[in-house]
Structure 1
Amino acid sequence: MTNQFPFVVIPPGTTASNFRRDLPLLYRAVIMATSSDYPSRQAFYEKQIVEFVTDHLLIRSHKNLDLLQGILLFITWYKRNTMVVTQLNNLLQLAIALIDDLYLNRSPTWFHKSKVLLALACSRSVKYGPKTMDERRALLGCFYLSSVAATSFQRLDSMRLTRQIEESCQALLEKPEYPTDLQVAYVVKAQYLTDRIAQNIHINEGNIVHSPKTPIEMHIKAFQSEIFAMRESLSPSLRLNTSVLMHLDFASMRLYEVALLDNPQNPTTNPIATDPAHLENLYSLLLSTKSFITATLATPGATYLSLSYIAWTQFTYSVAVLDRLTFFKSPSCPSWDVPFVRSVIDLSTVLSTFAGRFEQAREHTCSQMMPGENSLRVEQANLYNRYALRTQMVREWFEHKAKFGNSANWDWEQAKVRLINAFEGKNKGMEQEHTPIPPTMAGYDIVELKDGNMQLDPSLFDGLNDDSFWLNLLGEWGDGPGV
Structure 2
Amino acid sequence: MTPTAASPYPTDTLGLRTNRACRNCVQIKAKCVPVPGSNSFTCQRCHRLDKVCTTPAPVPRHRGRNKSNRVAQLEERINNLTSLLTSTKPADEVPNQPSSHAQQSMLTPPVSIIHDPDQPSCQSSSHAKSACRPPPGNSASNDADKTTHFRTRLPPAIEERLFSDFRTYMNGYFPYVIIPPQVSSASVREEKPFLFRTCIAVACHVDPPVQRQLGEELFRHIGERMLLKAEKSLDLLQGILVLISWYQCYNFYNPQWMNLLHLASALAIDLGINRPNHSGPWPPVGMVVDTNQLIHGKSVNHGCKTSDERRALLGVYYLTAELAACFRRVDSMQWTHHLEDCCNALLAADEYTSDIEAVQMVRLHRMVGRYHDGSVPLENVPISTYARCVQDDFQRFRKDLPASLDGSTRFELHVLSHEISSLEHIMSSGVDTALARAGALYTCLKRVGNLIDCFTKFPATRLQYIPFMIWIHLLHAIIVIAKLSFLEAEGWDLQYVRTSETSFPATCTGLIAYLEAASRQCQGESQVPSPVSARFNMSAEKLRQCLKWYENKIQAEAESMASTEPCVVRNLPPFDPALEGFFEGFDDGLWADFTGDFGNTGMQF
Distance 1:159 1:340, change over 3 A: closer
Give the TM-score normalised by structure 2.
0.61
Of the three residues 222, 233, 254, the one matched with 2:421 is 254
Find the aligned partners of 1:201 and 1:401 in 2 and give their Cα distance: 36
Deviations 1:365-389 (A, max 9, x none): 444559xx8xxx6433433322222
In structure 2, the partner of 1:267 is none
Of the three residues 326, 329, 346, the one matched with 2:488 is 329
Letter in 2 for 1:60: K
Q: Where does the alignment leave 5 or more consecutive residues of structure 1 unmatched?
A: 203-208, 263-269, 414-460
Of the three residues 176, 180, 193, the one matched with 2:367 is 193
Letter in 2 for 1:311: I
Letter in 2 for 1:473: F
Of the three residues 146, 149, 154, the one matched with 2:328 is 154
Q: 1:311 aligned to 2:470?
A: yes
- Deviation for aligned residue 1:66: 0.5
In structure 2, the partner of 1:383 is 535
- Residue pairs, 1:326-365, within 5 angstroms: 326-331=485-490, 333-334=491-492, 336-340=493-497, 342-365=499-522
In structure 1, the partner of 2:178 is 9
Find the aligned partners of 1:246 and 1:164 in 2 and give their Cα distance: 28
Q: 1:78 aligned to 2:229?
A: no
Of the three residues 311, 318, 321, the one matched with 1:137 is 311
Letter in 2 for 1:89: M
Q: Secondary structure at the match of 2:352?
A: coil
- Residue pairs, 1:27-426, within 5 angstroms: 27-79=196-248, 81-85=251-255, 87-109=256-278, 112=281, 114-116=283-285, 127-200=301-374, 209-210=377-378, 212=380, 215=382, 217-261=384-428, 270-272=430-432, 274-331=433-490, 333-334=491-492, 336-340=493-497, 342-367=499-524, 369=526, 378-402=530-554, 405=557, 408-409=569-570, 411-412=572-573
Q: Secondary structure at the match of 2:274?
A: coil
In structure 1, the partner of 2:192 is 23
**Stretch of structure 1 that moved more, 35-44 or 248-257:** 35-44
Letter in 2 for 1:347: F
Letter in 1 for 2:254: V
Letter in 2 for 1:379: P
- Checking the alignment, whether the CA contact within 8 Å between 2:276 and 2:304 is kept in structure 1 is no
Deviations 1:384-418 (A, max 9, x none): 322222222222332443466479457458xxxxx
Find the aligned partners of 1:157 and 1:365 in 2 and give their Cα distance: 39
Q: Where does the alignment leave 5 or more consecutive residues of structure 2 unmatched?
A: 1-169, 560-568, 592-605
Q: Secondary structure at the match of 1:271?
A: coil
- Deviation for aligned residue 1:77: 0.9
Distance 1:169 1:46, change over 3 A: same
Aligned pair count reads: 404
Letter in 1 for 2:577: G
- Checking the alignment, whether the CA contact within 8 Å between 2:414 and 2:473 is kept in structure 1 is no
- Deviation for aligned residue 1:37: 4.4
Deviations 1:1-60 (A, max 9, x none): 233211111100322222222111111221222233443232122111111111222222
In structure 2, the partner of 1:442 is none
- Residue pairs, 1:467-478, within 5 angstroms: 472-475=581-584
Find the aligned partners of 1:124 and 1:111 in 2 and give their Cα distance: 19
- Checking the alignment, whether the CA contact within 8 Å between 1:313 and 1:480 is kept in structure 2 is no
Q: Secondary structure at the match of 1:31?
A: helix
- Checking the alignment, whether the CA contact within 8 Å between 2:383 and 2:426 is kept in structure 1 is no
- Checking the alignment, whether the CA contact within 8 Å between 1:147 and 1:158 is kept in structure 2 is yes
- Checking the alignment, whether the CA contact within 8 Å between 2:273 and 2:309 is kept in structure 1 is yes
Letter in 2 for 1:359: E
State the 4+ residue runs in structure 1 displaced beyond 6 angstroms: 117-121
Q: Secondary structure at the match of 1:92?
A: helix
Distance 1:126 1:394, change over 3 A: closer
Distance 1:231 1:410, change over 3 A: farther
- Checking the alignment, whether the CA contact within 8 Å between 2:278 and 2:302 is kept in structure 1 is no
Distance 1:405 1:472, change over 3 A: farther
- Checking the alignment, whether the CA contact within 8 Å between 2:268 and 2:313 is kept in structure 1 is yes
Deviations 1:98-127 (A, max 9, x none): 111111111345874622378999x97954
Distance 1:319 1:230, change over 3 A: same
Deviations 1:423-480 (A, max 9, x none): xxxxxxxxxxxxxxxxxxxxxxxxxxxxxxxxxxxxxx9436xxxx6x64234xxx44
**Stretch of structure 1 that moved more, 161-170 or 402-411:** 402-411
Distance 1:314 1:175, change over 3 A: same
- Checking the alignment, whether the CA contact within 8 Å between 1:302 and 1:358 is kept in structure 2 is no
Find the aligned partners of 1:330 and 1:36 in 2 and give their Cα distance: 45
Letter in 2 for 1:463: P
Aligned-pair identity in percent equals 26
Of the three residues 438, 454, 463, the one matched with 2:577 is 463
- Deviation for aligned residue 1:192: 2.3
Q: Secondary structure at the match of 2:173?
A: coil
Letter in 1 for 2:202: A
Find the aligned partners of 2:485 and 2:345 in 1 and give their Cα distance: 43
Letter in 2 for 1:228: Q
Q: Secondary structure at the match of 2:538?
A: helix
Distance 1:355 1:237, change over 3 A: same
Letter in 2 for 1:474: F
Distance 1:17 1:125, change over 3 A: same
Q: Secondary structure at the match of 1:93?
A: helix
Computing the radius of gyration from Cα coordinates, the structure with the larger value is 2
Find the aligned partners of 2:553 and 2:459 in 1 and give their Cα distance: 29
- Deviation for aligned residue 1:341: 5.0
Relative contact order higher in (CA < 8 Å, ≥ 6 apart): 1
Q: Secondary structure at the match of 1:240?
A: coil
Distance 1:24 1:239, change over 3 A: same
Find the aligned partners of 1:389 and 1:328 in 2 and give their Cα distance: 26
**Stretch of structure 1 that moved more, 54-63 or 112-121:** 112-121
Give the TM-score normalised by structure 1.
0.75
Deviations 1:60-119 (A, max 9, x none): 22111110000011011112544422x122111111111111111113458746223789
- Checking the alignment, whether the CA contact within 8 Å between 1:397 and 1:410 is kept in structure 2 is no
Distance 1:84 1:127, change over 3 A: closer
- Checking the alignment, whether the CA contact within 8 Å between 2:357 and 2:405 is kept in structure 1 is yes
Find the aligned partners of 1:340 and 1:386 in 2 and give their Cα distance: 27
- Checking the alignment, whether the CA contact within 8 Å between 2:497 and 2:503 is kept in structure 1 is no
Distance 1:124 1:378, change over 3 A: closer
